[in-house]
Each structure stands twice: as structure tokens, then as C-alpha cells.
Amino acid sequence: MPHPDTAADAVTLAETAYAKVNVALHVRGRRSDGYHALESLFVFAEDGDLLHADISDDGAIDLIIDGPFGDALSSGPDNLVVRAARALQSYLGEQRGAVIRLTKMVPVASGIGGGSADAAATLRLLARLWDVRIDDRELADLGLPLGSDIPACIASTTQMVRGRGEHLARQTVAGLDGMPMLLVNPGVSVPTGHVFARWNGQDGGALDTGSLQALVEHGRNDLEAPAIAIAPAIADILAALRALGGLILARMSGSGATCFALFETETALTQAAMTVGGEHPDWWTMKTKIRAG
């Protein structure tokens, strides 16, 4: 791709940072390197944060943040979007830079991979913007030092994730693709490190991803109880979701505080969103579907 020399040549590219949801998250132990050994089924919503980027020829990485939750983030060098962009730029020896706009649509520190999804989307977006050949495995390797969830967020497809996030396997679970899903957050940020610090240290057993029924009946989120101890509003959300009609599963995602509910039909999802929004207008909600693949 030729470098753009005039404004007329400039092309703005866009990418969605698909929200990540842990249908189940089993903590199997603590590793010698300080990380926890996890087993989790990741699915991704069809929606999430939005990123746009334009090439800059001066080599700079400039980040602009807007959107409903934009004020909660700094656009400085510690932002995961900037760090991911710099990592890719360095890996490629790329002389060009980029002006990136992040429209923050999902809450910060909410257990649905917001920062990790943003970083992964940045890597995908800049690979296209700079027109370079790089595969998902290379992007995942670049992302892992920045965040454990970033490798899975590169493809943003249903995956079984093990270890600290470095062992990924595409997973097919009949009935999950396209399933109506409601995300709900009480407006509380829950620090991941504090939640893991409260984990009881007990290995509750392996995760069975063989069927949706197994995930519903035997899956769990081992961080749910410690997160509720920090943010009791999570229990209120789960109680509200589990009282809804047409529900298949309600559980907390990641280390919280966002919870998700899976529904049998679009009609049930629509009714659920109306009920939750009407009874709890202070809660953030997102109507969406599980992304196919």
C-alpha cells in the first residue's frame, strides 16, 4: 500500500473491540510465577468499544478517547491501546504512526475484557492500516505480555482458554453462536488483583465444555464469591437476572462486576432488558448476541 501523501489519500479504518464474556471460569491453582492457572470458556459479544485510526507519517501514536466511559481513562503512554500500538510498531520496525480514536462504550474494569479487547482491536486495526502481513499467533504473542486476556481477544471467537491465557483452543458449543445475551453492570469497578487475592484457594474441578447443558449445570465462576464480598451489588444483579423469564444462564463474567444472562429467544432478551432497565435505571445494560465463530 502506498503511503498517503495528501489528505485525499487518507483512509480511516474502523474496528470493534468485542466485549469478552466468561461463560465459566474455573481457578485451578496458583502458579509458581504468581499467576493463577485458569480454565475458562470465552465468548464474545457482537458489540463493544469502537476504534478508528488514520496513518500519520511522523511515527507518533496519538490516542483520543471519547464515548460514555471515556472520562474514566487516560490517553497517556500507559493506556493499553498506546502500549499495543507501540509494541506492534516496534516489532514491525514500522516508521509510520497512527492517530487512534477510542470510543469507550463499555465500563472500565468490569470483567468483560474492555482494555484487553481494546488492545487486541488496536493490533488488528493497525495491521490493516499499515498493510502488513502478520498472523493472529504473532499478534497474540505481542499481546500476552500486556494482558492475559489479549491473546483470546485477537480472534474474538469462542475459545477454551487455559493457563494465564496463553493456551487457546477454538471451541464449538452447540447453541451458543448467536444466542441473545444481556450484559449488566452496577457501576462499580472491581480491581482484578483484589478479587484474585480473596480466592479461597480450592480447586473445584475441571471445566466441561462438551455441551451447553454441562456449562449451565456444572460450570461456575470461582471469582464470583470474592467479587461479591468486595461489591455486594453483584449479588443484586444476579438475583434480578435469575428471576427473568426465558433465562438459560446468569453468571458473573471474569472478575466482575459485569454479569451476563443468556436467553432462549430475542423476545425474552428484549423483555428482560426492559425489566432490568425499568427497575434499575442506574445499572448499565447492553443488549447483544454471542458472536459467531
CATH 3.30.230.10-classified regions of the chain: 11-170
Q: Which CATH number fits domain 11-170: 1.20.120.420, 3.30.230.10, 3.90.1660.10, 3.90.550.10?
A: 3.30.230.10
| Residue of 86, 111, 109 whose CA lies nearest to 96 | 86
Q: Of all residues in the chain, what percent are helix, strand and coil, respectively (each to 5)?
A: 30, 30, 40
Number of C-beta neighbours around residue 37 at 10 A? 15
pLDDT at 7: 40
One pLDDT digit (tens) per residue for the chain, 293 residues: 344 443 445 689 999 999 999 999 999 999 988 889 999 999 999 999 999 999 999 999 999 999 999 999 999 999 999 999 999 999 999 999 999 999 999 999 899 999 999 999 999 999 999 999 999 999 999 999 999 999 999 999 999 999 988 999 999 999 999 999 999 999 998 888 999 999 999 999 999 999 999 999 999 999 999 999 999 999 999 999 999 999 999 999 999 999 999 999 999 999 999 999 999 999 999 999 999 96
What are residue 272's phi and psi, to 5 degrees?
-65, -45
pLDDT of residue 189: 84
Strand residue runs (E) in the chain: 13-30, 36-56, 61-66, 97-103, 159-163, 167-170, 180-185, 247-252, 259-263, 284-289
Domain with CATH 3.30.70.890 in the chain: 180-289
**Among 135, 121, 98, 115, CA closest to 50:** 121
289 is annotated as an active-site residue = no
Q: In this structure, are residues 178 and 292 in contact, taking their beta carbons and an 8 Å threshold?
A: yes
H helices present in 46-113, as ranges: 80-92
Active site residue 20: yes
pLDDT score recorded for residue 1: 39
Q: Which of 47, 49, 118, 149 is catalytic?
A: 149
Q: Which CATH class is domain 180-289?
A: alpha beta
